[in-house]
Chains A and B, each alone.
Chain A
Amino acid sequence: MTYRLLILLSCLPLSLFAQDKAKPVSPAVVSKDTAATRMLQGVTIFSSKNNSVSPVQTLSGVALEKMNSLSVADAVRFFSGVQLKDYGGLGGLKTLNVRSMGTNHVGVFYDGIQLGNAQNGTVDLGRFSLDNIEQIDLYNAQKGAILQPAKGFSAASSIYLQSRKPTFHEGETTHGKVAIKTGSFGMVNPSVRLEQKITNSLSAVISSEWLHGNGKYKFRYTNGTYDTTAVRENAGIDATRVEGGLYGQFKDSSSWHAKVYYYNSTRGLPGAIVSNKFYNGQHQWDRNLFVQTSYNKKFGKRYTMLLNAKYMYDYVRYLDTSIITDYGPLMNRYRQHEYYLSSANQYKLTSFWDVALSADFQLNEMTAVNLDHFAIPTRYTTLAAAATQLHLGQVEMQGNLLATFINEKTKLYNSGHDYSALRPTILVSWQPFRQEDLKLRAFYKSIFRMPTFNDMYYSTVGNPDLKPEHTRQYNAGIGYTHNSKGFLQFFSLQTDVYYSHVKDKIVAAPGRNFQWMMQNIGGVDIYGVDASVQLSPRLLQQVQTDFSVKYTYQKALDVTDPQEVNYKDQIAYVPVHSGSFIAHASWNKWDINYSFIYVGERYFLNTNVPLYYLEPWYTSDLSVSTSFLCQHKLIKLTGELNNVFNQYYDVVINYPMPGRYYRLTASVNF
């Protein structure tokens, strides 16, 4: 594949033109319109930022407001090239798989710092309520910036969650928002947000919410002869999130940001619906706390520095009343600590050439209770990235080399092997016409993910001999964006074609009685096309409309063993065809939104036989909202009807998704 990239690169004429883009993202730089004024204006829901050097999909403020989404997980389903693995319901695990490379290859960043979980390597996006999220960006390869922590270069694709920053009107020092959501699943979800200006350069925000629900919903399974409808049980959840942030914007153009995040939940794990057993007695308690801080300063005209630090504590308690051990029902407790430090530096060599160096250090520890032969691992991760960026006329190039050093120690038993590697990424884009935001882009990225602590050390599952799982990605695409004052206020077309290869894929057989194993045996070849069109035509004088159509084609083929029956079969849970459609209209103080998702036929194991077949599913969601001012306070009311046609489907085999359900939201901005 490498030669194809070379051909591609040589096709790009290296004309000269400097371009002002990809500035380091510093928090709370621009004072934006407040939510109140913005919501009363008829604006397109799409963010009209310039095409990036790496493929990016964005959902920001207004779009997030208008969509029928409770959590980040609900929102990212509308991106192309992704599969959301959703176990269903309020408390069900929801993880994102980008371009079929596997959930573990997706880096999730919260306000610029990675959300880690060394135990299972995944982030449950269902836990991040949209209540406090301002923007979601999904980047293939990586964010197209060179001033970023080395971690930013270390995942095959990355999703950035940006929490809401405090913004104030002239003369305003305090404001906030109170909201309550209720609806199906016995859900009650009150939230409160308070923004306070402390000084001209320092402001604070506190955001908190409580989510409670019994999680009950009807589901149905039928084969044409039997037709069973039942209610999902043991799916209740009780979760609290408290988040506080300080934002400093100083005269010397430096900015500072600190954040405390606490999440506490208890939930039933309703389990798989199998013959004769529709109830499972597992329960889980989670506590997650992190503190992070970020400082950005520019020295002179050339040098910019970005410092980040984080501490994270994670606690999980798991109870299974169906497994009675010699001390009683099976109960495990897991504790994790993560310490993280990062320094990133960018230097402007010339007007068209920047270089950057970043170094990260991270320590992960994990302990477990009631887990036989658990090794008690500590992982030291050192990352160093050297990156460079060239603006040669209408051509922009970014490249980086990432050095990774993993040192692994265990208190007991066998520890994993130390590992070090040097991996490159190259991103190129070319803007053929100076006046039009049309870009051709291409990237190559080679990266890997480390086996998780569960992969390596989980009792009677883990394998400390595991090697990292490697990915190589080749991508070529085109992006076109047009803004105008006329009929078509916004138009955007994005298409990318790609080939990726996953090597040494870590494969486990889940749930074997006493003998499963984790091994580096898998290989996957992925050929895909992501395409999207977004447009905002003014169909009627008073009506603002927005449409988005996304389509994904993916052939993700198991190339593990040419001798095997499933050689070149589509891998589990990846549809060949999938897509989404969003239509939004706003008129006066009313908004109406229609969202449609289609996921084509899939197989739940890596062999394409009828026995492993999963039907396509598609859902339609509707929402209506209105906002009005009442005593200078913005009141917003939203009613949602989701899965309008009451389709019963499984995203994950035997984990039924809810049929038709509704949600009501009321909020007051003060």
Chain B
Amino acid sequence: MRILSRLISCRNLLLLLSAAIIGLSACRKGNGIIPGEETQVGQPDTLRNGFYLLNEGNMGMNLSTLDYYDRSTGIYKSNIYSQINPGATKELGDVGNDIGIYGSKLYAVINMSDKVDVLDTHSAKRIGQISIRNCRYVTFYKGKAYVSSYAATIGDASAGAGYIAEVDTATLQILRTVTVGRQPEEMAIVGDKLYIANSGGYSPPRYERTVSVVDMNTFKEIKRIDVAINLHRVKADKYGDVYVTSRGDYYNIHSKLYVIDTQKDIVKDSFNLAASNLAIAGDSAYVYSAEWSYITNKNTVSYAIINVKDETKVTDNFITDGIDKEIRTPYGIAIDPENGDIYVTDAKNYLLPGTLYCFSKAGKKRWSVTAGNIPAHFAFIPR
């Protein structure tokens, strides 16, 4: 014990303490700007434009990131936003829910950040933002952007109804709003009508079951088409039809795909097919589903192609090389507007970095790359 006592002299202790504090102080290098990663995934193709992929990021984690596939070099660049826009406080934001390009501007709808971030289409430099509480999806029509929002006023007679905001794409100012159903989701334009899926997802089991139709000349809701509960996606084909997905209630009512005839504004057809999301290219609608059931406590994943011309199911899987077994949670889908390549994202368990897969039109894997957290939404740069 005597040796121990001598060792622990006052001076030694002070030395030890100061050394420890200096040593530890050096460990904090600062979060700084997190660089993205660059991965060579494809062959350089200078004739075609690239696309952006928006990763949603888990709620509360402020983890939405933007990736870019530069086709002129074949390089996939992840998390480009914070490097290009280091001055944007807390980066892109929380839960990127949709992305769209209109002319020279790219619109990233950041749900839990209550904003639409507006970037330059080609440089991804930030131009400004549109503040819209609880914004969900974006679509465009005659020089204006339309953004759906869950936000409702307390004590509103319409009990929690959301709205669509009309935004001037030049000034980024909100011009008008129109009230629709509860928790409106995706929208599609056919002719001069806007079709909006109402979900009612905040009040289960009292879901909404309608698609709102807004006349774009008057910007008034002219009709609600009864479809099914908990509607989500709305996509227009080139034959004047609108495809609408229902998420079901995760119990006895299953997810399903419906077709609306926009001439008569009625449901004209439905597919006994679970549908989480779909992408329509030409006559083909590529549909996938990851449907959770609280009866079986299991996730069921399925894929299908539907011919939108004659409204028939063509095949039960558009991934033909068995890679679909690797995809745990398909979360986003897009079809290359130029060569018909199929892009599918895997959100995995929503916590791991996701994966982006590129398949040829024939359903064979071309490449895959690690994307951000919950990769989900695509925007192709037009030629």
A: which residues have CB within 8 A of B?
221, 223-226, 228, 271-277, 321-330, 372-373, 413-414, 459-460, 463-465, 482, 484, 486-488, 491, 507, 509-517, 521, 535, 537, 539, 547, 564-566, 581, 583, 596, 598, 600-601, 604-607, 609-611, 613, 615-618, 653-654
Q: Interface centre among A277, A565, A596, A606, by most B CB within 10 Å?
A: A277
Complex Cα distance, B156 from A224, in Å, reads: 44
Q: Which residue of B lies closest to A322 (CB)?
A: B134
Complex Cα distance, B89 from A616, in Å, reads: 21
Q: Which residue of A lies closest to B291 (CB)?
A: A515
B60 x A276 contact (CB < 8 A)? no
Q: Is B10 an interface residue (CB 8 A)?
A: yes
Contact of A276 among B4, B115, B151, B230 (CB under 8 A): B115
Q: Which of B240-254 contact A (CB under 8 A)?
A: 247, 250-251
- B109 CB to closest chain A CB (Å) equals 12
B94 x A274 contact (CB < 8 A)? yes
Contacts of A565 in B (CB 8 A): 352-353, 370
Complex Cα distance, B349 from A566, in Å, reads: 12
Complex Cα distance, B155 from A330, in Å, reads: 12
Contact of A223 among B32, B202, B290, B299 (CB under 8 A): B32
Contact of B60 among A226, A271, A321 (CB under 8 A): A271
Q: Which residue of A lies closest to B86 (CB)?
A: A225
B94 x A272 contact (CB < 8 A)? yes
Contacts of A600 in B (CB 8 A): 27
Q: Is B205 an interface residue (CB 8 A)?
A: yes
B62 x A226 contact (CB < 8 A)? no
Known: A226-B87, A328-B159. 6 other contacts (CB 8 A): A224-B30, A274-B90, A275-B92, A488-B4, A564-B352, A653-B61
Complex Cα distance, B349 from A507, in Å, reads: 9
- A370 CB to closest chain B CB (Å) equals 9
A274 x B113 contact (CB < 8 A)? yes
Q: Which residue of B lies closest to A647 (CB)?
A: B28
With contact pairs A465-B297, A516-B350, A565-B370 given, residues A224 and B86 touching in the complex (Cβ less than 8 Å): yes
Contacts of B247 in A (CB 8 A): 514-515
Q: Is B114 an interface residue (CB 8 A)?
A: yes
Q: Is B292 an interface residue (CB 8 A)?
A: yes
Complex Cα distance, B1 from A487, in Å, reads: 10
With contact pairs A516-B350, A539-B10 given, residues A325 and B202 touching in the complex (Cβ less than 8 Å): yes
Contacts of B230 in A (CB 8 A): 514
Contacts of A610 in B (CB 8 A): 34-35
Q: Is B82 an interface residue (CB 8 A)?
A: yes
With contact pairs A274-B113, A327-B203 given, residues A373 and B94 touching in the complex (Cβ less than 8 Å): no
Complex Cα distance, B155 from A564, in Å, reads: 48
Q: Is B218 an interface residue (CB 8 A)?
A: no
- Can you list, as one digit per residue, whether each of B58-76 has a CB less than 8 Å from chain A (1) or not (0)? 1111110100000000000
Complex Cα distance, B161 from A326, in Å, reads: 8
Complex Cα distance, B203 from A328, in Å, reads: 10
A511 x B60 contact (CB < 8 A)? yes
With contact pairs A326-B200, A517-B299 given, residues A611 and B349 touching in the complex (Cβ less than 8 Å): no
Complex Cα distance, B93 from A161, in Å, reads: 41
B94 x A275 contact (CB < 8 A)? yes
A535 x B90 contact (CB < 8 A)? no
Complex Cα distance, B88 from A616, in Å, reads: 24
A275 x B113 contact (CB < 8 A)? yes
Q: Which of B352-367 contact A (CB under 8 A)?
A: 352-353
Contacts of A596 in B (CB 8 A): 21
Contact of A514 among B28, B61, B86, B201 (CB under 8 A): B201
B62 x A510 contact (CB < 8 A)? no
- Can you list, as one digit per residue, whether each of B1-18 has a CB less than 8 Å from chain A (1) or not (0)? 100110010100100010
Contact of B349 among A276, A324, A521, A618 (CB under 8 A): A521
Contacts of B160 in A (CB 8 A): 324-326, 328
- Interchain residue pairs A-B with the least CB separation, the first 8: A511-B59, A509-B350, A275-B93, A274-B94, A225-B86, A275-B90, A324-B152, A272-B60
Complex Cα distance, B63 from A513, in Å, reads: 15
- B182 CB to closest chain A CB (Å) equals 7
- A131 CB to closest chain B CB (Å) equals 31
Q: Which residue of A lies closest to B353 (CB)?
A: A607
- Can you list, as one digit per residue, whether each of B209-232 has a CB less than 8 Å from chain A (1) or not (0)? 000000000000000000000100
A and B contact pairs by CB, cutoff 8 A, 19 listed = A225-B87, A226-B90, A275-B90, A276-B90, A277-B112, A277-B114, A326-B159, A326-B200, A414-B294, A463-B294, A537-B5, A539-B10, A547-B13, A565-B353, A566-B352, A610-B34, A613-B34, A615-B28, A617-B28
Complex Cα distance, B33 from A613, in Å, reads: 11
Contacts of A535 in B (CB 8 A): 8
Complex Cα distance, B132 from A406, in Å, reads: 48
Contacts of B34 in A (CB 8 A): 610-611, 613
Q: Interface centre among A460, A613, A617, by most B CB within 10 Å?
A: A460
Q: Is B351 an interface residue (CB 8 A)?
A: yes
A273 x B90 contact (CB < 8 A)? yes
Q: Which residue of B lies closest to A533 (CB)?
A: B8
Complex Cα distance, B376 from A512, in Å, reads: 13
Q: Is B238 an interface residue (CB 8 A)?
A: no
Contacts of A328 in B (CB 8 A): 154-155, 159-160
Contact of B62 among A272, A413, A564 (CB under 8 A): A272
Complex Cα distance, B89 from A457, in Å, reads: 38
A515 x B21 contact (CB < 8 A)? no
With contact pairs A273-B90, A615-B29 given, residues A654 and B60 touching in the complex (Cβ less than 8 Å): yes
- B72 CB to closest chain A CB (Å) equals 26
Contact of B8 among A322, A326, A488 (CB under 8 A): A488
Contacts of B48 in A (CB 8 A): none
A276 x B114 contact (CB < 8 A)? yes
Complex Cα distance, B203 from A512, in Å, reads: 16
B112 x A223 contact (CB < 8 A)? no
Complex Cα distance, B348 from A277, in Å, reads: 28
With contact pairs A460-B250, A507-B351, A515-B250 given, residues A616 and B33 touching in the complex (Cβ less than 8 Å): no
Q: Which residue of A lies closest to B326 (CB)?
A: A563
Contacts of A273 in B (CB 8 A): 62, 90
Q: Is B206 an interface residue (CB 8 A)?
A: yes
B4 x A224 contact (CB < 8 A)? no
Complex Cα distance, B58 from A511, in Å, reads: 7
Contacts of A537 in B (CB 8 A): 5, 8
Complex Cα distance, B35 from A371, in Å, reads: 42
Q: Which of B70-112 contact A (CB under 8 A)?
A: 79, 82, 86-94, 110, 112
- A647 CB to closest chain B CB (Å) equals 8
Complex Cα distance, B158 from A325, in Å, reads: 11
Contacts of A276 in B (CB 8 A): 89-90, 93, 110, 113-115, 129, 131
Complex Cα distance, B205 from A328, in Å, reads: 15
- A230 CB to closest chain B CB (Å) equals 9
Contacts of B156 in A (CB 8 A): 324
Complex Cα distance, B13 from A488, in Å, reads: 14
A372 x B112 contact (CB < 8 A)? no
Complex Cα distance, B152 from A328, in Å, reads: 9
A654 x B5 contact (CB < 8 A)? no
Contact of A482 among B1, B92, B353 (CB under 8 A): B1
- A176 CB to closest chain B CB (Å) equals 39
With contact pairs A277-B113, A326-B200, A596-B21 given, residues A605 and B32 touching in the complex (Cβ less than 8 Å): no
Contacts of B349 in A (CB 8 A): 507, 509, 521
- Can you list, as one digit per residue, whether each of B36-69 has a CB less than 8 Å from chain A (1) or not (0)? 0000000000000000000000111111010000
A321 x B17 contact (CB < 8 A)? no
B60 x A277 contact (CB < 8 A)? no
Q: Which residue of A lies closest to B93 (CB)?
A: A275
Contacts of B299 in A (CB 8 A): 517
Contact of A274 among B10, B27, B60 (CB under 8 A): B60
- A136 CB to closest chain B CB (Å) equals 25
Q: Is B20 an interface residue (CB 8 A)?
A: yes
Q: Is B175 an interface residue (CB 8 A)?
A: no
- B355 CB to closest chain A CB (Å) equals 9
With contact pairs A226-B87, A328-B154, A330-B202 given, residues A463 and B113 touching in the complex (Cβ less than 8 Å): no
A459 x B62 contact (CB < 8 A)? no
